[in-house]
Structure 1
Amino acid sequence: MALNKILLFSLTFQLVSLLLRVSSESPWITGDVTQTPMKYLELARSPEVFDSMVRIRRKIHENPELGYEEFETSKLIRSELDLIGVKYRYPVAITGVIGYIGSGEPPFVALRADMDALPIQEAVEWEHRSKIPGKMHACGHDGHVAMLLGAAKILQKHRHDLQGTVVLIFQPAEEGLRGAKKMIEEGALKNVEAIFGIHLTNRIPFGKVASRAGPMLAGAGFFEAVITGKGGHAAIPQHTIDPVVAASSIVLSLQHLVSRETDPLDSKVVTVSKVLGGNAFNVIPDSITIGGTLRAFTGFSQLQQRIKEVITKQATVHRCNASVNLTPDGKEPLPPTVNDIDLYKQYKKVVRDLLGQEAVEEAQPLMGSEDFSKFAEVIPGHFSFLGMQDETKGYASSHSPLYRVNEDVLPYGAAIHASMAVQYLKEKASKGSISGFHDEL
């Protein structure tokens, strides 16, 4: 009898040891993944996930596509979702893709990545530089897609543990063409209760994030005006109505809208960035075209109206006429990006659990804008920056021909995406917040 007890104890001990060793060696843990948030970064760093993210990022980078032209990028995303068995909708907003992971039942939470490139000639010499002249991923959207697909891989592996449904939004046309609005119009946010977005940046130390509750990025709009006079010989200006002088006065007067009419504690920007007109040294042209951008957190419509008034009335002072377009080339204004305070609190807790207490920095409001704001205008949203700064290497700012992505940061983005989605669903399910979903996906 004693011998049997010893043998039983020995076998039990060996079995427990084996299970512990397998658990520690394999990042693909089994069981309820929602109970092990510290595992997400380990999962994202595994060769299965990290190598695929790098491969995807480089392939997209080599083949950049502008807004609403992301057909090959979209095809790659769909092929990756097919490989891991994720259902999706396509097309949404021409090239967009929406994937679904989980129970197919409420609650629903969305993760968003933008896909489009910029009309920039890449100046970085490396093996996977852009193959398309004049086009480049100079804002990290290739990395954003790779990180969301990495998160999808993790979430799909543990889909049976999800207490709801994760919606993966791969958005086209973020760079000025309002892809978010078009996706919303085509049902991207149907039944979704909250949305999260991540943007890479070289302004924050590697592995840290920056965010804040409330307004984070400014609302943005554009304007274009044609000032028309009467052209003629430059040697006899008295016989002309000079639109160049009128345009010059208008540009200077527009600067007073911020310096003289705006509360110094309320940030606003009015920038004239385009002046076109004339093609000879001795000829006064018939017209001058100017254009630019405005940024504001508050009083956006009022600022638009004042821009229009200054242009038209200053033109009149100089005997010219002016027509003003506040949506040139169909560029509709974007609202400010405002982070929901409850989602921000949840985000801070999740990231600190995942990356450490010092990983979260308080972001300062920026005058840049983001198409994500359209999603966050409809439902609670949270947008954050993920740092990839490395003091031993130089990383140019966004929209630069020298822009690069630090690929070592990709697992951080994938882990944050997956962690936020799982934690959000877990908390919503625990509160019993179900929003009556009965339709088919």
Structure 2
Amino acid sequence: MNGQTVVPPELNKRMIRIFKEFHEHPELCHQESWTTKRIKAELTRIGIPLLDFPIKSGVVAELGTDGPIIALRADIDALPLQEESGLPYQSKIAGVAHACGHDFHIMALLGAAKLLKTQESQLKGRIRFIFEPGEERHVGAVEMIAAGVLKDVKAISGIHNMPTLPVGTVGIKTGKLMASNDNFDVTITGIGSHAAMPQTGRDPIVATASIIMLLQTIVSRNISPSDRLVLTVGQIRGGHTNNVIPETAGFKGTIRAFSATDRKLAKKRFYEIVNQTAAAYDQSAAISWDQGPAPVDNNEDVTDIIQHAAETFMDVVPAIPSNADDDFATYEEYVPGCYAFMGSQGQSNLHHPDMIANPDGLQYAAKYHEQAALALLNALNHHESFERD
């Protein structure tokens, strides 16, 4: 359906123009001050009241009349990455870029707010707009929920742009869509020595190398071949020069899983392998474990309602589950929700220096939010609540 106009042309032009402003001004987790002010200014211009929650950055606003409350969520932070897209509106902040398309998410939700504002008198309930900071470090949802943004919310909907899908297409599925995320940082401490006299020390580089190789057996020998779990070591550190065995070495990485059982088992085996292998080399291990969000798990009722609404104006395809994570999952642990992949086809995938979220997809994303909100409110006015999966 790409090529058609699904929002008023003047709104589409404004969305694209302001989207480029957000792209030029990316901000990292807990630093989203410019972004927060710009979102507030646009919501105020539209005439949507801001809600007062105890949050340092990010925005919550609400529109509508008495009745059930549903929420629409967008994340707003950027990545510590140097942009190499060559865009005329490339990031103006050195070493920071919207390489995950959160600028696209912000503008799509602002566009939806404008669409819904024109229908406010006909709404049978309220729509809460959540602009969440700190998603990339998976702290934003936890902070927003602790501040109370889900109070009285009956359902939540959100999107993530997907450069591998064409503009005008959305990927939707019930159940598990994205993986859980656990990150680790391990330091192995041995005894340093001259490289030509290794017997006088305890080489942490050799121990670290052995541990990294053994960790791969968690997937190959502990997880069922029918399940999905990824363990990746993304950084190795150790040593200062060629002829000195260092005192310490270490590595960082991540584990992604779709099953709570597999996630628990992987952590147990990780600790066993790291600690016992280090001991076998007569060394010690220190493990720092960062537990991220659970898998994104879409509610069947909410997803079916939104999918039917989306099919009226854009192409809907089955979403392919992703081993990436998103803390939208944290909201879904409290209220039924649906997260979808919105087509933003570009030249590179997410988190790449030249990743581009195609602004032609904004009108579809804004319309999707609008239709999802209207469909959920309509359903809630006919049913008391959605069934939890």
Provide TM-score, normalisation by structure 2: 0.95
Which residue pairs with 2:209 in the alignment?
248
Query: Would you say the 8 A contact 2:53–2:147 is kept in 1?
Result: no
Which residue pairs with 1:87 in the alignment?
49
| SS of equivalent to 1:431 | coil
Question: How much does 1:43 deviate?
Answer: 8.2
Which residue pairs with 2:136 in the alignment?
175
Question: How much does 1:202 deviate?
Answer: 1.4
Pair 1:362 & 2:318 matched: yes
Report matched runs for 1:67-106 at 5 Å.
67-90=29-52, 92-103=54-65, 105-106=66-67
Question: How much does 1:415 deviate?
Answer: 0.4
Which residue pairs with 2:176 in the alignment?
215
Question: How much does 1:206 deviate?
Answer: 2.0
| SS of equivalent to 1:319 | coil
Partner deviation per Cα, 1:53-85 (whole Å, 9 max, x = no partner):
112211111111001111111100100111111
| SS of equivalent to 2:313 | helix
Query: Would you say the 8 A contact 2:138–2:326 is kept in 1?
Result: no
Alpha-carbon distance in 2 for matches of 1:243, 1:74: 46
Report matched runs for 1:181-196 at 5 Å.
181-196=142-157
| SS of equivalent to 2:371 | helix
Alpha-carbon distance in 2 for matches of 1:346, 1:395: 32
Provide TM-score, normalisation by structure 1: 0.84
* Larger helix percent: 1
Alpha-carbon distance in 2 for matches of 1:62, 1:124: 12
Consecutive unaligned residues of structure 1, counting only runs of 5 or more, are 1-40, 435-441
Q: Tell me the amino acid that sits aligned with residue 301 of structure 2.
A: D
| SS of equivalent to 1:86 | coil
Count of aligned pairs: 382
Q: Tell me the amino acid that sits aligned with residue 19 of structure 2.
A: R
| SS of equivalent to 1:316 | helix
Pair 1:205 & 2:157 matched: no
Question: How much does 1:214 deviate?
Answer: 0.6
Question: How much does 1:42 deviate?
Answer: 8.4
Alpha-carbon distance in 2 for matches of 1:125, 1:109: 39
Task: Kindly report structure 1 stretches of 4+ aligned residues shifted beyond 6 Å.
Answer: none
Which residue pairs with 2:357 in the alignment?
405
1:185–1:272 CA distance, 2 compared to 1 (3 A): same
Which residue pairs with 1:303 in the alignment?
266
Alpha-carbon distance in 1 for matches of 2:89, 2:208: 45
| SS of equivalent to 1:45 | coil
Question: How much does 1:91 deviate?
Answer: 5.6
1:92–1:417 CA distance, 2 compared to 1 (3 A): farther
Q: Tell me the amino acid that sits aligned with residue 423 of structure 1.
A: A
Alpha-carbon distance in 2 for matches of 1:92, 1:121: 32
Alpha-carbon distance in 1 for matches of 2:49, 2:111: 16
Identity across aligned pairs (percent)? Answer: 37
Equivalent of 1:430 in 379, 382, 389: 382
| SS of equivalent to 1:133 | coil
Partner deviation per Cα, 1:277-329 (whole Å, 9 max, x = no partner):
110100000011211100111121221121111100000011111111112xx
| SS of equivalent to 1:353 | coil
Query: Would you say the 8 A contact 2:306–2:375 is kept in 1?
Result: no
Report matched runs for 1:225-264 at 5 Å.
225-264=186-225
Q: Tell me the amino acid that sits aligned with residue 362 of structure 1.
A: P
Structure 1 stretch 175-184 or stretch 248-257: which is displaced more?
A: 175-184
Question: How much does 1:90 deviate?
Answer: 4.7
1:433–1:384 CA distance, 2 compared to 1 (3 A): closer
Consecutive unaligned residues of structure 2, counting only runs of 5 or more, are none
| SS of equivalent to 2:218 | helix
Equivalent of 1:324 in 287, 295, 312: 287
Pair 1:340 & 2:303 matched: no
Equivalent of 1:371 in 305, 327, 333: 327
Report the structure number with the largest CA radius of gyration.
Answer: 1
Report matched runs for 1:129-148 at 5 Å.
129-148=90-109
Equivalent of 1:418 in 362, 366, 370: 370
Report matched runs for 1:152-163 at 5 Å.
152-163=113-124
Query: Would you say the 8 A contact 1:44–1:414 is kept in 2?
Result: no
Query: Would you say the 8 A contact 1:93–1:172 is kept in 2?
Result: no
Equivalent of 1:48 in 10, 22, 25: 10
